[in-house]
Structure 1
Amino acid sequence: MFTKISIRIVLACSVALSPAVAAANDALIGGIVGGIIGGAISNQPKRQTTTKRVYKPAPVKRTVNTAQREANRQTQEALNYFGFNAGAPDGVMGRNSRAAVTAYQVHLGYPATGQVTQFERDFLISSYYRAQSGGATTAQLIAQHPQGVRGLLLTYRDEKLNGGAGSSAIAGHYGMPPVVAAAVNEIAKSSDPSAEQLIQRSGFVQLADINGDGQTDYILDTSVTGSAFWCNAQACAVRVFASTPDGYERNDFQAFNVSPAMFSCTRGTCSKTNDGSQLATAQLIPQQPAPVPTLPNTQMASIQAPAGVATPVPSAQPVVNGSTTVVNSAPTIPNFFGGSEGTAQSLTSYCAKVNLMTSANGGFVTEASFSDPSFTLAEQMCLTRTAVMAEGDDLIAKVSNVTPEQVTQQCRSFGPLLKEHVSAVSLKSRADAIAGVSSFVLSSGMSPQQLTATAKICLSVGYRVDDMDVAIGSALLLAALGDHAYGELAGHHLSQGIGATKRTDLAAEWYTATLTALADGANPVFVPNQGERLALLQLATSSLTGGATVSEPVQMQIPQLIVDQ
Structure 2
Amino acid sequence: MVAKNLCTTLVAASLFLAPAARTAADEAAAFIGGALLGGLVVNEVHKNKQRKQQTTRQSTSRSTGYSSAQRQQNREVQTALNYFGYNVGVVDGKLGRMSRAGISRYQADMGYPADGYLDDHERSFLLTSYQRALASAHVPPYNQIVATQGQAGLLRTYRNEQLGIATPQTGQPQGQLAALPQNDQQSTTARADTGGQLPSFAFAPAGKSANDLCNDTNVLTVSNGGPVLASAMTNPSLALNEQFCQARAQAIADANRLEETVPDMTAPQIEEQCEQLNTALAPYVSGIDTTAAQDVISATSAFLTQSGHSMDQLVSGGQICLGVGYRTDNGPMALASAVLLTAAGRQGYGEMVGHQLREGVGTAKATGGQDAEWMRIALEAAQSGKTVLNQTPERLAVLNAAMTQGGAKTGLPVFQTSTGN
Q: Distance in 2 between matches of 1:163 and 1:435?
A: 39
1:376 is displaced (CA, Å) by 0.8
Aligned partner of 2:406 in structure 1 is 544
Q: 1:212 to 1:494 in 2, by over 3 A?
A: farther
Aligned partner of 2:384 in structure 1 is 520
Aligned partner of 2:9 in structure 1 is none
1:463 is displaced (CA, Å) by 0.9
1:401 is displaced (CA, Å) by 1.5
Aligned partner of 2:119 in structure 1 is 160
Q: 1:138 to 1:550 in 2, by over 3 A?
A: same
- Judge conservation of contact 1:392–1:459 (CA < 8 Å) in 2: yes
- Judge conservation of contact 2:228–2:235 (CA < 8 Å) in 1: no
Aligned partner of 2:344 in structure 1 is 481
Aligned partner of 1:337 in structure 2 is 203
Q: Distance in 2 between matches of 1:519 and 1:551?
A: 10
Q: Distance in 1 between matches of 2:315 and 2:230?
A: 33
Q: Distance in 2 between matches of 1:249 and 1:464?
A: 24
Aligned partner of 1:261 in structure 2 is none
- Judge conservation of contact 1:508–1:550 (CA < 8 Å) in 2: no
Q: Distance in 2 between matches of 1:513 and 1:246?
A: 47
Q: Distance in 1 between matches of 2:326 and 2:305?
A: 26
1:399 to 249, 258, 262: 262
1:511 aligns with 2:399: no
5+ unaligned residues in a row in structure 2: which ranges?
Answer: 1-96, 158-197, 414-421
Q: Count matched residues.
A: 268
Aligned partner of 2:252 in structure 1 is 389
1:371 is displaced (CA, Å) by 0.8
Q: Distance in 2 between matches of 1:438 and 1:140?
A: 45
TM-score of the pair, normalised by structure 1 = 0.42
1:535 aligns with 2:401: no
1:387 is displaced (CA, Å) by 0.3
Q: Distance in 2 between matches of 1:400 and 1:212?
A: 32
Q: Secondary structure at the match of 1:345?
A: coil
Q: Which runs of structure 2 are paired with 1:98-109 in the superposition (5 Å)?
A: none
1:527 is displaced (CA, Å) by 1.7
1:141 aligns with 2:108: yes
Q: Distance in 1 between matches of 2:102 and 2:208?
A: 38
Q: Which runs of structure 2 are paired with 1:40-439 in the superposition (5 Å)?
A: 141=108, 145=111, 152=113, 159-162=118-121, 164=123, 168=126, 209-210=131-132, 247=152, 249=154, 282-283=199-200, 336-337=202-203, 342-439=205-302
1:465 aligns with 2:331: no
CA offsets, 1:292-351, max 9 Å, x none?
xxxxxxxxxxxxxxxxxxxxxxxxxxxxxxxxxxxxxxxxxxxx325xxx4112211221
1:497 is displaced (CA, Å) by 1.8
CA offsets, 1:223-263, max 9 Å, x none?
xxxxxxxxxxxxxx976989xx96454899xxxxxxxxxxx
Q: 1:212 to 1:398 in 2, by over 3 A?
A: farther
Q: Distance in 2 between matches of 1:409 and 1:348?
A: 20
TM-score of the pair, normalised by structure 2 = 0.55
- Judge conservation of contact 1:478–1:484 (CA < 8 Å) in 2: yes
CA offsets, 1:136-159, max 9 Å, x none?
9679939x85xxxxx628x989x4
Q: Secondary structure at the match of 1:164?
A: helix
Instruction: Looking at secondary structure, tell me which structure has more strand per residue.
Output: 1
Q: Secondary structure at the match of 1:398?
A: coil
Q: Distance in 2 between matches of 1:137 and 1:466?
A: 26
Aligned partner of 1:22 in structure 2 is none
Letter in 1 for 2:322: L
1:449 aligns with 2:312: yes
- Judge conservation of contact 2:217–2:241 (CA < 8 Å) in 1: yes
Q: 1:439 to 1:282 in 2, by over 3 A?
A: farther
- Judge conservation of contact 2:400–2:412 (CA < 8 Å) in 1: no
- Judge conservation of contact 1:374–1:495 (CA < 8 Å) in 2: no
- Judge conservation of contact 2:103–2:116 (CA < 8 Å) in 1: no
Q: Distance in 2 between matches of 1:521 and 1:251?
A: 45
Larger RCO: 1 or 2 (CA < 8 Å, sep 6+): 2
CA offsets, 1:245-290, max 9 Å, x none?
96454899xxxxxxxxxxxxxxxxxxxxxxxxxxxx8456xxxxxx
Q: Distance in 2 between matches of 1:366 and 1:498?
A: 24
- Judge conservation of contact 1:408–1:461 (CA < 8 Å) in 2: yes
Q: Secondary structure at the match of 1:466?
A: coil
Instruction: Looking at secondary structure, tell me which structure has more helix per residue.
Output: 2
- Judge conservation of contact 1:162–1:386 (CA < 8 Å) in 2: no
Aligned partner of 2:29 in structure 1 is none
Q: Distance in 2 between matches of 1:164 and 1:398?
A: 24
Letter in 2 for 1:161: D
- Judge conservation of contact 1:438–1:480 (CA < 8 Å) in 2: yes
- Judge conservation of contact 1:426–1:503 (CA < 8 Å) in 2: yes
5+ unaligned residues in a row in structure 1: which ranges?
Answer: 1-129, 146-150, 171-206, 219-236, 253-280, 285-335, 553-565
Letter in 2 for 1:537: L
Aligned partner of 1:496 in structure 2 is 359
1:169 is displaced (CA, Å) by 6.8
- Judge conservation of contact 1:161–1:383 (CA < 8 Å) in 2: no
Q: Secondary structure at the match of 1:424?
A: coil
